[in-house]
Structure formats: C-alpha cells, structure tokens
Amino acid sequence: MKRLGILNSDIARVLAYMGHTDWICIGDCGLPIPDEVERIDLTVRFGVPSFMEVLKEVEKDMKIERVILAEEIKEKNPSVLKEVNELFTGNDLKVALDFVSHEELKKMTKHCKAVIRTGENSPYANIILQSGCIF
C-alpha cells in the first residue's frame, strides 16, 4: 500500500504516465469535461474537496513548468487567484502564470491527459498544469 504522495489511484496513475509538456486540469464542479478526456471525479458535495486542497497535493507530486488560468479569475475570484499565485511564486517554484479566456481554457481541456473535478463551487477555479522535466 502506498504511504506517501497522492493516494487516489487514478490521479497517481495519470501523473506517473505524464511526460514533459503534457497537461492535466483541475477544475471546479461546474467545468465541462470533454467526453474523450478522462474524468477523475473527487466531488463529495459543494466545497469538498476544495480546488486548493487538490491543487496543493498535485503540486507536491508533480514537476510543473507552466500554469494556465482563465483571465476571468482576476476579477471574479481574486481570493483563489491569490492562493494560486502564492503557491506557484513562493519558495523555489517560480512558475509563471499564463492567462487565457475561460472559453479558450475549456477548449484546451480537450488536450489534457485528465480533468480532476473537485467540489469547488466558486467561479473560474480551474487550472491547467503543464508537466515539466524532472532531470
């Protein structure tokens, strides 16, 4: 039995087979997920688990070189944006945040290895993480 890192077998599997520049998305409970993309549904009820809880655990287990968010988060959800910014610009991470329209982000999910659906019920709490190289 695994004792460290992400215990969810689907998330752990997807992270293990990701290569450099592959994408994974973490989304709120309302993000539409294309039928052809793997859905990892963690939603228990509104707010559980939260977007940030899931993002922080994935970040610990994944080398991330790029982060993509919806431009609308700046105005519609500044508190989540602040937490994301602190996570990726604090410590030694220094990952640049890129912004696209929410419509573009939804289109980009078609190219993700998987979309992790959280219980988050605040607007525009969606992120695409681009895998970096570990060597």
Q: Which residues define the annotated binding site?
A: 28, 102, 124-126
Place of tokens 């940030």: 52
Please say if 20 is a catalytic residue. yes
Buried b (16+ CB within 10 A) or exposed e, 48-75: ebbbbebbebbbeebebebbbbbbbbee
- Residue 123: cis peptide before it, omega within 30 degrees of 0: no
- Which of 7, 9, 12, 20 is the catalytic position? 20
Check if the beta carbon of residue 28 is closer than 8 Å to that of residue 126.
yes
Q: How far, CA to CA in Å, does 117 sit from each of 8, 90, 95, 108?
A: 13, 25, 23, 15
| Gap between the Cα atoms of 76 and 27, Å rounded | 15
Give the active site residues. Answer: 20
